Amino acid sequence: MKIPLSRIAHARSGDKGDTSNIGIIASNARHYPILAREVTAERVKHFFGEMVKGNVERYELPNLGALNFLLHGALGGGGTLSLRIDAQGKTLGAALLRMEIEIGDGELR
C-alpha cells in the first residue's frame, strides 16, 4: 500500500549555505523503522529531481525516531546569493512529506 510520508512523519527544514537540511521525524516512534527503510537518500534525491544539484546525505537518529537529510546544492546558491523566494529551504520539509512510501499490510497498526 502506498501512503504519503505525512501520514507517519513530521518535518522541519532549514539551511547551511547552499545545503538544505530536512529533519524527518516519526510521529509515532514505533514507525521509525519504516522511515529508515523507505526514506533513503536516493529516493529523496530522486523526489526533488533537478532542484538538488549535488548529492543527498542521510543521517540516522534512532533515539529521536528521526532522519536528517542534507541536500547539497539545493538552494540556488544559498544565503544571500540565492534568487529563490525560499532561499533557506524553509518549505522543503513540507514538500518531502508528500513523497509516497510503500508499507506492508497492518504495518501501521
Partner 1 sequence: MIRIANGQGFWGDWLEAPVRLVEQGPIDYLALDYLAEITMSILQKQKEADPNLGYARDFPPLIARIQRRLIERDVKVIANAGGVNPIACAREVRRLAPSLKVAVVTGDDVFGRLDEFLAAGHAMKNMDTGEPLSTIRDRILSANAYIGAFPLAEALAAGADVVIAGRCTDTALSLAPMIHRFGWKPDEWDKLAAGTIAGHIVECGAQCTGGNCQVDWQGIPDMANIGYPIIEADHDGRFSITKHEGTGGRVSVDVVKEQLLYELGDPKNYITPDCVADFTSIQLKDAGPDRVQVSGIRGSARPQMLKLSIAYSYGWKAIGTLVYSAPQALEKSQAADKIVRQRLHQLGLEFEEIYTEFFGVNACWGPVALPNPDPPEVQLRIGVRGQDRKAVDRFTRELIPLVLSGPPTGTGFGDGRPPVREVVAYWPALIPRELIQTSVEVVE
> Does residue 105 touch partner 1 according to CB under 8 A?
no
The minimum distance between CB 38 and partner 1, in angstroms, equals 17
The CB-side HSE value for 54 (13 A sphere, CA atoms) comes to 15
Q: Which of 12, 30, 46, 53 binds partner 1 (CB under 8 A)?
A: 12
How many angstroms separate the CA atoms of 68 and 98, rounded?
Answer: 17
Residue among 45, 42, 26 nearest 34 (CA): 26
Binding mask 65-104 for partner 1 (x = CB under 8 A): xx-x-x-----xx-xxx-xxxx---xxxxxx-xx------
Task: Please classify residue 87 by burial: count the beta carbons closer than 10 Å to its beta carbon, then call 0-12 exposed, 13-18 middle and 19+ buried.
Answer: middle
The minimum distance between CB 103 and partner 1, in angstroms, equals 20
The minimum distance between CB 29 and partner 1, in angstroms, equals 9
